[in-house]
């Protein structure tokens, strides 16, 4: 990744949810990116690793990756085999509107975010359950029969209930340690950054706090995340500001609470990332 490049927002979601069943037989390279919505990826065929916030997952057929909105990720695809997967985009407002009481459908995404572990490895029995639901959902979305959209929406909720139940009971990180790789020191640094966006997060400060040389920190950080330290922190602060704006926080307060000390820097960076001003973003969302 070039020094000047940052993660881009990819995909769009104007509906409550979308389903894609994709199969590629040619080599493709996907840069690091993020979404404004939550995403499920179920691998059906192929050899692919998925990198989510610096953690690398070595996927097998029938593995599912949960990517909460705003999390930076990218797949690394082996072109030697066709890559087939089912992807479901889910709007957070949709998840919240369909939740009832303690059954919050977005909980699975918040759980994997808190755990720092985004892989769900399905048992043979659960594979059948998921595949039946996804096939019916795919058919309902294509259908023009009476009530097809209602059926698709009901199946989407059923899928999310399954995912939440399995995430709650999942111990994949313990049961399959070979399924992922993480640099513990970089994980500590990423967790510290996430929890301290309003603090001084310069390379010098981080290197002293974590007892690393500046050179090693900069080199290893980019090797693990694909970003320079400055790029990564800037991205996270902008995504945090965007979330605050969605919640109705004023523009100046959002900039301050996301860790921007100069409003002009915030405004310039925000427009470059979201292609609109913070005020326009707040009004739109």
Q: How confident is the model at residue 201 (pLDDT cuts 50, 70, 90)?
A: very high
Q: Distance between alpha carbon 188 and the CA centroid of its chain, in Å?
A: 19
What mean pLDDT do residues 224-246 have? 89
Q: Residue 255 pLDDT more than 90?
A: yes
**Per-residue model confidence (pLDDT) at position 18:** 95
Q: Which domains are seen in the chain, by residue range?
A: 8-180 (2.60.120.280), 184-284 (1.10.10.60)
Q: How confident is the model at residue 3 (pLDDT cuts 50, 70, 90)?
A: very low
Q: Residue 208 pLDDT more than 90?
A: yes
**The two structure tokens encoding residue 174:** 């313990």
What mean pLDDT do residues 246-256 have? 93
What mean pLDDT do residues 84-96 have? 95
What's the number of CA atoms in the CB half-sphere (13 Å) around residue 127? 10
3-state DSSP call for residue 81? coil
**Per-residue model confidence (pLDDT) at position 184:** 87
**Per-residue model confidence (pLDDT) at position 171:** 67
| Termini Cα distance of the chain | 31
More confident residue, 285 or 97: 97
What mean pLDDT do residues 221-238 have? 88
Tell whether the torsion through CA atoms of 33, 194, 257 and 222 is positive or negative. negative
**Per-residue model confidence (pLDDT) at position 273:** 85
Q: Residue 172 pLDDT more than 80?
A: no
**The two structure tokens encoding residue 219:** 């080199």
Q: Residue 1 pLDDT more than 50?
A: no
- Cβ 94 vs Cβ 31: under 8 Å: no
**The two structure tokens encoding residue 173:** 């990180």
Average pLDDT over the chain reads 90
Q: How confident is the model at residue 19 (pLDDT cuts 50, 70, 90)?
A: very high
Closest CA to 7 of 215, 244, 219, 237: 237
Count CB-CB contacts under 10 A for residue 230: 13
**Per-residue model confidence (pLDDT) at position 79:** 87
Give the list of residues 6+ apart from residue 211 with CB closer than 8 angstroms, or none: none
Strands 38-45 and 83-90: antiparallel
Q: How confident is the model at residue 72 (pLDDT cuts 50, 70, 90)?
A: confident
**Per-residue model confidence (pLDDT) at position 10:** 66
**Per-residue model confidence (pLDDT) at position 84:** 96
């Amino acid at each position: 990744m070039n020094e000047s490049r940052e993660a881009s927002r990819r995909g769009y979601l104007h509906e409550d949810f979308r389903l894609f069943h994709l199969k590629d037989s040619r080599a493709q390279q996907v840069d690091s990116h993020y979404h404004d919505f939550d995403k499920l990826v179920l691998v059906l065929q192929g050899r692919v690793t998925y990198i989510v916030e610096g953690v690398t997952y070595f996927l097998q057929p029938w593995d599912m990756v949960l990517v909460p909105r705003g999390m930076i990720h990218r797949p690394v695809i082996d072109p030697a085999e066709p890559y087939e997967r089912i992807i479901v985009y889910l709007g957070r407002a949709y998840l919240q509107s369909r939740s009832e009481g303690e059954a919050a459908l977005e909980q699975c995404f918040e759980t994997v975010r808190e755990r720092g572990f985004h892989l769900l490895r399905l048992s043979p029995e659960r594979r059948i359950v998921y595949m039946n639901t996804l096939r019916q959902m795919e058919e309902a979305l294509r259908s023009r029969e009476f009530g097809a959209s209602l059926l698709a929406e009901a199946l989407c909720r059923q899928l999310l209930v399954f995912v939440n139940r399995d995430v709650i009971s999942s111990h994949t990180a313990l049961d399959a340690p070979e399924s992922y790789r993480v640099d513990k020191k970089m994980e500590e640094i990423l967790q510290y950054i996430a929890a301290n966006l309003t603090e001084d997060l310069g390379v010098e400060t981080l290197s002293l706090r974590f007892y690393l040389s500046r050179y090693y920190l900069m080199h290893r950080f980019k090797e693990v995340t694909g970003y320079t330290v400055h790029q990564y922190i800037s991205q996270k602060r902008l995504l945090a500001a965007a979330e605050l704006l969605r919640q109705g926080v004023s523009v100046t307060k959002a900039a301050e609470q996301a860790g921007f000390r100069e409003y002009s820097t915030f405004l310039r960076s925000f427009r470059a990332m979201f292609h609109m001003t913070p005020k326009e973003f707040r009004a739109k969302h």
